[in-house]
Structure 1
Amino acid sequence: MLSAVCVGETMAMLTPVQAVPLHQATELHCGIGGAESNVAIGLAAMGLDSHWVGRVGRDGFGTRILNELSSHGVGVTGVEVDPALPTGLYVKVPAQSSDPDGGSSVLYYRQGSAASAMGPGTLANPAVAELLEQASLIHLSGITAALSPGCRDLTEAILAAPRHGRLISFDVNWRPALWANQDRSLLRQLANRADVVLVGKDEAEHAFGTTDETELRRLLPDPAVLVIKNEAISAIALARDGGRAEVPALSVDVLEPVGAGDSFAAGYLSGMLFGLDQKASLRRGHVAAACTLTVHGDRGPLPEARELSAILDASDAQWGATHVTGGQFNTRTGA
């Protein structure tokens, strides 16, 4: 079975049970959230031997993270448990119906977290070394590199290591608060050393100063593929040899956008690992993202295998006529 390893921070997530301002909440739901572990869960759902490497505190939040990832089929043998530093925490405040122009917001409590203490020494952990050696794919993101100097050094060490046939993917995952006082040119340098780079078009403007395809490909000349996610419009794959593939996004009744980018990454990367072409891989990304867009939380369940195959194998006309609501994929008749 193909193996994938996702490296980064996973935090405990608290959010009001009712859609009320945080100061009015009397109950908070506890979950977990992290870009890289979201991708790991998505890759496991797509049929890969998926693992998450990171650090958590020796606390209830850390235990919850390990248990939940394990329940989704994600391996956690490469996770270190810190006896002193805490698990990172974030609070997701839901959008208010009284403020139609205001979306959900997030409060982060991650400074000094166990994950921020990751560094090149993490690679000396025998369990981590074995996972990386056996991996077909190593997935990183711009979030990890911005957490601390040690995390940046860890990211650089992974990118500099010999590939030995494996792929390294890098999702930009632009977080303005993390890069506010740092040299953002480092983000471009790191991304350019990966084999596959994923970036949202809206992120590209902030991270790289442009949304132009040609200019982005010029700024990132070395990756084999640059994937630009243009939200509800399309996803574009730009190959280093000049090839270009574009697949329109599915029509979706969006419930909540959080986590859709990570789901897209899992779908797309699984397609690449299974040897699919760019069009098919982009479709897998769109389907996974659509499943997440129609649920609360960071990920939505995929359709059953037979239905998933039918969606992915649809004609262009059928694809364009497909509408997703409540996790259900419906194709309008006549397509």
Structure 2
Amino acid sequence: MSSLTGTAAVDVTDTDVICLGESMVTFLPSRPGRLADVPSFDRTIGGAESNVACALAAAGHRARWVSRVGTDGFGDHLIRAIGAYGVDTGAVGRDPARPTGVYFRTATDRSTDAHEVVYYRRGSAASAMSPATVPPAALAGARVLHLSGITAALSGDCLDLMRELTTRRPGRPLVSFDVNHRPGLWRDPDGARVLLDLARGADLVFVGEDEAADAWGLIGPDAIRAALPEPAAVVVKQGAQGATEYARDGFTAPEAPDPTAGDAGDAGETVTREPAPVVEVAAPVGAGDAFAAGYLSALLRGLTARDRLRHGHLMAAAALTVPGDVAVPPATGHADRLAALSGDAWGTLRLGPGWTTAGDEEGHAP
């Protein structure tokens, strides 16, 4: 990687998923309490797209993270920490003029639901991503390109990049888009409308039922799908209630970039709903990213709609039962056994801290 040109030397190889977006150094408090009162913090990593990349790589997929970081020590830490999960970081650019983003958050206070998050990301290296600073080679050779609405909110250049990547054109990979509406990041009052336009250009969309109501005034999964007819699949996340997938017949991840991506044709559609297991939550952070990773992992493996949703729920449960943003996923065989449970058995599933390594075929926490 070159700190002079600000671009990375990219080794173009076949990749399952490319995840593009900002990652930040995250500081987690050493004890519960207000940020003003916490005496020390532990350093970790956080970022929607890099979270997905780490979870996919840990699950055995070939994942590449595309972004920009500063030439500072925090940038070194992000590249090293994300690479340690097995993620290809060769397409990460270094920016000598801008810093790596960081943020601080409190530990979850479950008795009062108090929570503080403070970001230091304005003017960060990642906010300078644009069609000019992300080389085409960095985005080549993947079956899936995963994006999120957070990137679009970082700067006008980032929005230009997102518009380019969600424009339908021959030869592009399957484009996965997690809406991730963050009102506090948007300086554009029309940010919610921008996200809807970007989502319409994707092939697969993840969106929370609550965020669709807040951003677009859409109530319920059917209304969300009606507002997003263009994507081949829309997955509506419904929190503890589960998730609903709307998918055109034949929806799957291509073995190579698909020149017909986004072509609706005359295909019919199937609606699949799957409840979520009951989870003993350690920290409600990173679950949405983990769900996307679990779903994408199952999609890449050619699994059914039911199993795609169940693997999303299982990966989300892994994130919910640890304090940080990224959790070690369950072994593939363990997750497959849980995903194959009967409807009644799945409905009684209870998952708590340590469940991913418990090896209990029934999935109960030890």
Considering the TM-score relative to the shorter chain, is it more than 0.5? yes
In structure 2, runs of 5+ residues without a counterpart are 1-13, 249-267
Contact 1:201 1:230 in 2 (8 A): yes
SS in 2 for 1:139: strand
Aligned residues: percent identity?
Answer: 42
Match of 1:215 in 2: 223
Letter in 1 for 2:40: E
CA shift digits 1:101-152 (9 cap, x unpaired): 33322111111011101101133x2xxx234220000000000001100000
Pair 1:232-2:240 in alignment: yes
Which is helix-richer, 1 or 2? 1
1:174-323 paired onto structure 2 within 5 Å? 174-179=181-186, 181-183=188-190, 184-240=192-248, 241-323=268-350
Q: 1:135 aligns with which of 138, 142, 151?
A: 142
Cα offset for 1:24?
1.8
Contact 2:168 2:201 in 1 (8 A): no
1:152-167 paired onto structure 2 within 5 Å? 152-160=159-167, 162-164=169-171, 166-167=173-174
Cα offset for 1:163?
4.8
CA shift digits 1:1-44 (9 cap, x unpaired): 75210001001111221112212222111111000000001111
Match of 2:58 in 1: 45
Letter in 1 for 2:351: V
SS in 1 for 2:117: strand
CA distance in 2, matches of 1:30, 1:87: 14
CA distance in 1, matches of 2:180, 2:348: 30
CA shift digits 1:34-74 (9 cap, x unpaired): 00000001111222110100010111111110000110001
SS in 2 for 1:226: strand
CA distance in 1, matches of 2:47, 2:96: 21
The 1:261–1:178 alpha-carbon spacing in structure 2 relative to 1, beyond 3 Å, is same
Match of 2:122 in 1: 111
CA distance in 2, matches of 1:315, 1:83: 54
The 1:163–1:300 alpha-carbon spacing in structure 2 relative to 1, beyond 3 Å, is farther
Match of 2:156 in 1: 149
Contact 1:21 1:96 in 2 (8 A): no
CA shift digits 1:154-202 (9 cap, x unpaired): 0111112635262100001111101354312111000110000001111
Pair 1:90-2:82 in alignment: no
SS in 2 for 1:23: coil
Letter in 1 for 2:308: S
Letter in 1 for 2:202: A
CA shift digits 1:226-281 (9 cap, x unpaired): 10010011110012433100111011111111001000000001111221121111
Q: Which shows bigger deviation, 155-164 or 274-283?
A: 155-164
When the two chains are superposed, the root-mean-square deviation of aligned CA atoms in Å is 1.8
Q: TM-score, normalised by structure 2?
A: 0.85
The 1:18–1:163 alpha-carbon spacing in structure 2 relative to 1, beyond 3 Å, is farther
CA distance in 1, matches of 2:363, 2:188: 49
Letter in 2 for 1:73: G
Q: Which shows bigger deviation, 274-283 or 145-154?
A: 274-283
CA distance in 1, matches of 2:90, 2:363: 45
CA distance in 2, matches of 1:290, 1:22: 27
Match of 2:21 in 1: 8
The 1:150–1:332 alpha-carbon spacing in structure 2 relative to 1, beyond 3 Å, is closer
CA distance in 2, matches of 1:102, 1:326: 20
Letter in 2 for 1:25: V
Regions of 4+ moved over 3 Å: 329-333
The 1:210–1:65 alpha-carbon spacing in structure 2 relative to 1, beyond 3 Å, is same
The 1:332–1:256 alpha-carbon spacing in structure 2 relative to 1, beyond 3 Å, is closer
Letter in 1 for 2:283: E
Contact 2:299 2:308 in 1 (8 A): yes
CA distance in 2, matches of 1:96, 1:321: 27
